[in-house]
Structure 1
Amino acid sequence: MADNDQKSHATGARNLMRGCTQATLATLTRPGGDRAGWPSPSLALIGFATDGCPLLLISGLAEHTRNLLVDPRCGLLFDGTAGHIDRLTGPRLSVRGQAEPTQDPALLRRFLTRQPTAVTYAGFGDFGLWRVVITDGHLVAGFGRIHTLSTDDLCLPATACEYLARAEAELVAHMNQDHADALALYATALLGKGHGRWCMTGLDPDGLDLRTDADTARLAFTAPVYDVGQAHTEMMRLATLARTVSP
């Protein structure tokens, strides 16, 4: 039972994290002043690698980037408390890790598809993509519901995610071109979102990301999927479910 509970907490934490489009990024102030070593929080747009590692597109001129270049240790706070009258009863996740620069074009594509406004500055010379390798996490699933999570809880095995990562762009394009009706039902019938031109922006083993011009949504799968066949089966199941609950 304990293993099942931990697996449930891990799945919930990953879905909370992947559902966020922004996070609080905490770095350690670099040496050279009277605040050296002090924590320094800032707001950052967030994306994710297919395995769940957070991605940041940040300017080399920013304080947090200059801090990371000296000490890559950082923290991220993912806030899932929106909609709760008492915010302390809502879920939130803090993770710790080490940030490393990356020039992987597939990771940049994932970030920009999730954060289309970032396209306007992604090509600026001072901006670069960073990947956060998570070391551990602290999940508060609600008031008094506190769980410690490991790297393996929060990030799926990278090798197991490779096949789906390679197929993602084609699958997303197929869903947007041929199954826009299903995407709209995912958002409205299953997630309670408003009507609009919903499109898929990402697909990973834990679920899929949706967006309109005015809103975003995250639809979680019942269990991780690692290949195209499993992804198709799960998306068909969700489409059937959405049609049964749609008015």
Structure 2
Amino acid sequence: MPDTNKVIRETDADALHLAKALLRTARYGALAVLDSQSGRPLASRVAVATDIDGAPVVLVSALSSHTPALLANGRSSLLLGEPGKGDPLAYPRITLLCSARQVGHSDPDYERLRRRYLNRHPKARLYVDLGDFTFFRFDLEGANLNGGFGKAFVLTRDDLISAHAANADIAAVEQSALDHMNSDHSDAIALYAKHFAGAKAGDRTKGRTWRMSGIDAEGFDLIADDDVASRVFFDAPIQGAGDIHRVLAEMAKQACQQHAASCNANQAETGSFNKV
């Protein structure tokens, strides 16, 4: 057998960036659990969002076979990463090793998880409050990252979780900041998508309506037409809610310098980006 030490690459900044991007942009994934009756592996497709620290969040029905499995044994894994055209194995993906925890209505984390999940999956409002649906938060224990052929990494929990003290402060104002940006600064959001996500998303940015679906200490999430997601990282983690306005305004100005035509048109219609 080959020496796995020679196959697994040393974790570097690019690997961490890719892993966190896969985690934050996932709209769905393959959830693997142990069947509560037979003990056999059971895999299901689930819609995925993230808590503010990056931990995956899933909304499940009691009618689904994976729900009793998770209640009986929280050990599970999530495979994230969407293939494109051509060979699906050429695209990056990550398998998360998790311990799932049910989050009920009385849990102090419930409202935050519900809010962030619905920001990512707004159509879930139709059933999120039905009695047989419940949230699970997947606490990460490690991960296997495959960045493409010959790019294998073994990651730890600390590699993936954004354990910044500022997240609690940001969570308290996150929804008001999102509502403000999406209602009053759609022009700036489109510019963020074009400048910061465009190189990664390619033609996906064209002709789509982008909105901001989450903010945390390390960056923010964009989603277009509820089917394409992009992650924009800050140059450095912000220190609290008070930094959100400043950093977003600076990023808008930075993007304007590269896309003057778009800025001039938007400023003429909606006013200066200085108001971000």
Q: Same fold (TM over 0.5)?
A: yes
1:135 aligned residue: 141
Which structure 2 segments of 5+ residues have no match?
1-9, 105-109, 199-204, 262-276
Kindly report the root-mean-square deviation, in angstroms, between the aligned alpha carbons of the 2 structures.
Answer: 2.1
Distance 1:8 1:189 in 2: 20
CA distance in 1, matches of 2:255, 2:171: 26
1:92 corresponds to 2:93: yes
Q: What amino acid is the match of 1:19?
A: T
Q: 1:122-178 CA distances to partner (integer Å, 9 max, x unpaired)?
A: 111100011001111001112111111111111121644211111211211221233
Q: Which residue of 2 aligns with 1:15?
A: 21
Secondary structure of 2:131's match?
Answer: coil
- The question of 1:124 aligning with 2:130 is answered yes
Cα contact 2:197–2:232 (8 A) shared by 1 = no
Alignment of 1:72 onto 2:84: no
Which of 39, 60, 63 is the matching residue for 1:61? 63
Summarize deviations over 1:18-71 as a string: whole Å, max 9, x none: 11111111111113xxxx222111100001100011001000110011111111
Counterpart of 2:225 (choices 213, 219, 225) is 213
Counterpart of 2:215 in structure 1: which amino acid? L
Asked if 1:204 corresponds to 2:216, the answer is yes
- Percent of aligned positions that are identical: 33
Instruction: Tell me if structure 2 keeps the 8 A contact 1:29–1:39.
Output: yes
Aligned length: 239
Task: Report the Cα distance in structure 2 between the residues aligned to 1:213 and 1:100, rounded to whole angstroms.
Answer: 30
Larger radius of gyration: 2
Greater shift in the superposed pair: 207-216 or 48-57: 207-216
Q: Which amino acid aligns with 1:220?
A: V
> Taking structure 1 as reference, are residues 91 and 234 closer, same or farther at Cα in structure 2, changes over 3 Å only?
farther
Which residue of 114, 139, 144 corresponds with 1:108? Answer: 114
Whether the aligned pair in 2 keeps the contact of 1:164 and 1:226 (CA below 8 Å) is: no
Matched residues in 2 for 1:160 and 1:214: separation? 28
Residue 169 of structure 1 pairs with residue 175 of structure 2: yes
- Between the aligned partners of 1:197 and 1:230, the Cα distance in structure 2 is 26
Q: Which residue identity does 1:155 align to in structure 2?
A: I
Cα distance in 1 for partners of 2:238, 2:27 equals 22
Normalising by structure 1, report the TM-score: 0.88
Q: TM-score, normalised by structure 2?
A: 0.79
Gaps of 5+ in 1: none
Deviates more, 1:219-228 or 1:94-103: 219-228
What residue is the counterpart of 1:156 in the other structure? 162
Greater shift in the superposed pair: 212-221 or 138-147: 212-221
Q: Are the structure 2 counterparts of residues 26 and 201 from structure 1 closer, same or farther at C-alpha, using a change threshold of 3 Å?
A: same
Structure 1 residues 176 and 118: alpha-carbon distance in aligned structure 2, compared to 1, 3 A threshold: same
**What secondary structure is seen at the aligned counterpart in 2 of 1:167?**
helix
Of 189, 193, 196, the match for 1:190 = 196
The CA deviation at 1:12 is 2.2
Matched, 1:45 2:47: yes
Say whether residues 1:228 and 2:229 are aligned partners: no
Q: Check the 8 A contact 1:187/1:194 in 2, yes or no.
A: no
Quote how far apart the aligned CAs of 1:102 are: 0.8
Secondary structure in structure 2 of the residue aligned to 1:232:
helix
User: SS of the counterpart of 2:221?
Assistant: strand
Counterparts of 1:227 and 1:218, CA distance in 2: 22
Contact 1:186 1:219 in 2 (8 A): no
Task: Report the Cα distance in structure 2 between the residues aligned to 1:226 and 1:101, rounded to whole angstroms.
Answer: 30
